Structure 1
Amino acid sequence: MLDPRAVPFDAALHPDARPALRLTWDSREAGPDTAFVALPGERMHGNAFVDAALAAGAPFVLTDLAVPRALRVPDARTALFAWARAERTHAPLVVGITGSAGKTTAKSYAAAALGALSMPVYNTMPAIACFLIERGRAGQPLVVEMGIDRPGEMAELVDLVRPDVGVVTSIGPAHLEQLGSIENIAREKGGILQGARGLVGAQAAAYYPGADSYGFGPVTFAGEGLRVTPEGARFAFAGVPVFLPYAAQVQAEAAVLGLVLAREAGVALPDAAARLRGVQVPGGRYTVHPGSITVIDDAYNASPVAVRAALDALQALPGRRISVLGRMLELGPTERALHAEVGAYARQRADVTYGVGAFAAELGDRAFATVPELTAALLADLRPGDVVLVKASRGISWTPDRRAQEGVGLDTVVQALLKAREQVSASGPAAADL
């Protein structure tokens, strides 16, 4: 329980405040078991939603307002982070993971191998703080995803999380709008390695000379005999066989990371390997849907490093390989050139290439302005045995001068493909309605 009477900072506590099971900074999630933290936002302050959280039954509200059930402090954000730092000290092991691509995948496999708790999809500082407060005393290792998009942010995250083990999965052009260059990205993300046991993925090893590396090939901790088939990835680590259903090399590398962490934490490797087999990464992150047409749903987000890795996985599969790519966000003034490079790579790895939205022509030979136009053409071209990779950035990002960049929501393409493949006959191409 999260007891507002036992917080590690001075606060004025309303007599009706009571313990909670969870914390949230989103008033829509507040309820009888979930307390609300009123934080400042870019457009509105969380104080504007305190009444809604109280009406929903929040056990207490961390705020500077004099309201019922208030845990009243001068600055809710400062108090939240102080609370998180205090609770983090009770965790037996904390692993922090960052990188230009593969963070969520690495987090999922590391947590499974360790038998650890991992935070959900959000990786903002308030989300991490709430996770540390909720789980710090659980008596299990914690795995924390630590994403950044501006200079100085990793230092703030490290101060909050203080990871015992810091991991960098990969380095590549991502968030260039704020970070400026790959060298800056490597330097900023490398902050996670300072003062911690450091591990870096094979792709990132060149940026961190002397750091222990993991993966396959010439690395410090290597998996052996990697084989990727339509059924999944097989390899061995320290003599222990590993099988990951419907996985590719990126997932296998994350599994090696998990096994390294498990061995160093004294976890039996056969037990860790057995748990790895059941890992389920959150939707949109290289999820393979086998069938008459194999659909690879990697539509949650995209960067040049991540797209290249997905294309490598696509090439390893049998069948007519089709790539469906959309815009990658936050690439700065070089974004057209980077999209062209990714498109050229797609043409090497796929038999048919589609592009949509901004930079569609750079990304694919079959270029479309809108997702509905692309979807109609793609569905009309499907054949039994096709393998279709769908990948792009989604949502909206902001440039340093506050210009909006809009991604491409290709999750609708995935949904249409999953529906349409049941209508594809074994006799040849068949059109399917949207």
Structure 2
Amino acid sequence: MLDPHAPPFPATVHPQARPARRLTWDSRKASPDVAFVALPGEAMHGNRFVQSALDAGAPFVITDLDVPRAVRVQGAQAALFAWAHAERAKNALVVGITGTAGKTTAKSYAAAALEAAYLPVFNTQPAIACFLIEHGSGARPLVVEMGIDRLGEMAELVDLVRPDVGVVTSIGAAHLDGLGSVSNIVREKGGILSAAFSLVGMQAGPFYPGVPTYGFEGATFEGENLHLDESGAGFSFRGIRVHLPRASRVQAEAAVLGLALAERAGLNLEAAAARLAAVEVPGGRYRVLPGAVTVIDDAYNASPLSVEVALDALAQFPGRKIAVLGRMLELGETEAELHAGVGAQARRKADLTYGVGKFAGLLGEHAFQTVPELLAALLPELKRGDVVLVKASRGISYTPEKRLQEGVGLDTVVTALLEWRDRL
């Protein structure tokens, strides 16, 4: 329980404030078990929602307002981070994971191997702080995904999380609007390697000479005898055979990371390998959905590197291979060139290529401006045994209408494919 009457920061606590099970910065999630912290936002301050959180039964609210059940502070964000630091300091093992692609997958496999607590979706600083407050004092290790899209953000995250282990999964062009260049990405993400122990994926290895690597074919922590086919991935680590159903090389590399961390933590590797076989990654992150038509749902986000990796995985499948690609966001002035490069790779790896939205003609031989137009052409083309990869950036700030028009957030395409294939 989170006790508001013993905060590790200066505060005036209302006598009616009571302990909570969880803490949120989103007033819509406040409840009799979930307290609310009123943070400043880009558009408006969380103070505007304090009353709605109290009406929802929030056990306490962190705010500078004089209201019932308030934990009154001068700055809610500073208080939140101070509390997170205090709770995180009670944990013996915190793993921080960053990278251009594969962060969420690596987090899922590392957490399974370590039997760790982890944040399922969000990786914003407020979300991470709330996670550290809720889980920092527990006996389980913590695994934290640390994504960035602007200069200086990794330093802020490292100061917040203070990881014992730092991991960089991969390096490539992404978020160039905020980060500027790949060299900046290398430098910024490399900030996580200030941890006491660090690892990088084999793809990122050349960017960080001397840092231990994980993966296959010569890695410091090496998986052996990797086998990939439509059923999944198999390999050995320290003589233990691992099988990952419906997985690609990316998942196999993440599993090696998990086993390397488990070995370092002194855990039983056979038990860790068994846990890895049961990992289910979140929707939209290379989920293989078998059926009359196999659908690879990788529509959560996209960068040139992650599309390349997904296309390599698609090439491992038998049957006719179809790539459905949408716009990759935040690529700056080089976006047209980067989309053209991805489209060229798609034409080499897939039998049919479809592009949608801006840059559709660069991404696929069959180009459409909107998702409805794409589906009208794609669905009748499908045959039993086809394998369809769907990948694009999600564009969460877009309206539904703009998403359809600009070819971002192709989760609607995945849904349509699954519905259509049931009729074949």
TM-score (norm 2): 0.97
| C-alpha distance after superposition, 1:229-271 (max 9, x if no partner) | 1111000011000000100000000000000000000011000
The worse-fitting range, judged by mean Cα deviation, of 217-226 and 23-32 is 217-226
DSSP-derived class of the 1:6 partner: coil
Aligned to 2:385: 385
DSSP-derived class of the 1:214 partner: strand
Contact kept in structure 1, 2:356 and 2:406, CA below 8 Å: no
Aligned to 2:73: 73
Aligned to 2:225: 225
Asked if 1:310 is matched to 2:310, the reply is yes
Contact kept in structure 2, 1:97 and 1:167, CA below 8 Å: yes
Asked if 1:265 is matched to 2:273, the reply is no
Contact kept in structure 1, 2:168 and 2:201, CA below 8 Å: yes
Q: CA deviation at 1:214?
A: 0.5
Aligned to 1:129: 129
| C-alpha distance after superposition, 1:72-116 (max 9, x if no partner) | 000000000000000001112000000001000000000000011
Aligned to 2:353: 353
Q: Equivalent residues in 2 for 1:69-108 (5 A)?
A: 69-108=69-108
Q: CA deviation at 1:196?
A: 2.6
DSSP-derived class of the 2:204 partner: helix
DSSP-derived class of the 1:23 partner: strand
Distance 2:177 2:5 in 1: 43
Aligned to 2:61: 61
Q: CA deviation at 1:407?
A: 6.0
Asked if 1:243 is matched to 2:243, the reply is yes
Aligned to 1:160: 160
Aligned to 2:299: 299
Unaligned runs of at least 5 residues, structure 2: 399-404
DSSP-derived class of the 2:255 partner: helix
DSSP-derived class of the 1:367 partner: strand
Distance 2:146 2:250 in 1: 18
Contact kept in structure 1, 2:229 and 2:317, CA below 8 Å: yes
Q: Equivalent residues in 2 for 1:201-212 (5 A)?
A: 201-212=201-212
Contact kept in structure 2, 1:397 and 1:406, CA below 8 Å: no
DSSP-derived class of the 2:340 partner: helix
Q: CA deviation at 1:217?
A: 1.1
Aligned to 2:7: 7
Distance 1:371 1:108 in 2: 31
Contact kept in structure 2, 1:84 and 1:133, CA below 8 Å: yes
Contact kept in structure 1, 2:112 and 2:275, CA below 8 Å: yes
Contact kept in structure 2, 1:215 and 1:222, CA below 8 Å: yes
The worse-fitting range, judged by mean Cα deviation, of 215-224 and 326-335 is 215-224
Q: CA deviation at 1:296?
A: 0.3
Q: CA deviation at 1:218?
A: 2.1
Q: CA deviation at 1:422?
A: 1.5
Q: Which amino acid in 1 is paired with 2:64?
A: D
TM-score (norm 1): 0.95
Aligned to 1:363: 363
Q: Which amino acid in 2 is paired with 1:149?
A: D
Aligned to 1:171: 171
Distance 1:328 1:11 in 2: 45
Aligned to 1:147: 147
Contact kept in structure 2, 1:395 and 1:407, CA below 8 Å: no
Distance 2:187 2:406 in 1: 28
Change (3 A) 1:407 1:87: farther
Change (3 A) 1:19 1:407: farther
Contact kept in structure 1, 2:96 and 2:144, CA below 8 Å: yes
Q: CA deviation at 1:396?
A: 4.5
Distance 2:378 2:407 in 1: 20
| C-alpha distance after superposition, 1:42-82 (max 9, x if no partner) | 10100000000000000000001101100000000000000
Distance 1:356 1:407 in 2: 5
Q: Which amino acid in 2 is paired with 1:378?
A: L
Distance 2:423 2:29 in 1: 40
DSSP-derived class of the 2:133 partner: helix
Q: CA deviation at 1:137?
A: 1.3
DSSP-derived class of the 1:282 partner: coil
Change (3 A) 1:197 1:406: farther
Asked if 1:325 is matched to 2:325, the reply is yes
Q: Which amino acid in 2 is paired with 1:359?
A: F
Aligned to 2:401: none
| C-alpha distance after superposition, 1:369-405 (max 9, x if no partner) | 000110111101001100000000012469xxxxxx9
Q: Which amino acid in 1 is paired with 2:262?
A: A
Unaligned runs of at least 5 residues, structure 1: 399-404, 425-434
Contact kept in structure 2, 1:326 and 1:393, CA below 8 Å: yes
| C-alpha distance after superposition, 1:187-234 (max 9, x if no partner) | 000000013311000110000000000011121111111111111100
Q: CA deviation at 1:138?
A: 1.4
Q: CA deviation at 1:161?
A: 0.5
DSSP-derived class of the 2:74 partner: coil
Q: Which amino acid in 2 is paired with 1:37?
A: V
The worse-fitting range, judged by mean Cα deviation, of 58-67 and 406-415 is 406-415
Distance 1:304 1:395 in 2: 16
DSSP-derived class of the 2:50 partner: helix
Aligned to 2:215: 215
Aligned to 1:50: 50
DSSP-derived class of the 2:422 partner: helix
Change (3 A) 1:310 1:54: same
Q: CA deviation at 1:6?
A: 1.5
DSSP-derived class of the 2:96 partner: strand
Distance 2:397 2:184 in 1: 20
Asked if 1:24 is matched to 2:10, the reply is no
Distance 2:311 2:397 in 1: 24
Aligned to 2:38: 38
Distance 1:376 1:236 in 2: 44
Aligned to 2:374: 374
Q: CA deviation at 1:406?
A: 6.4
Contact kept in structure 2, 1:216 and 1:222, CA below 8 Å: yes
Aligned to 1:287: 287
Q: CA deviation at 1:7?
A: 1.1
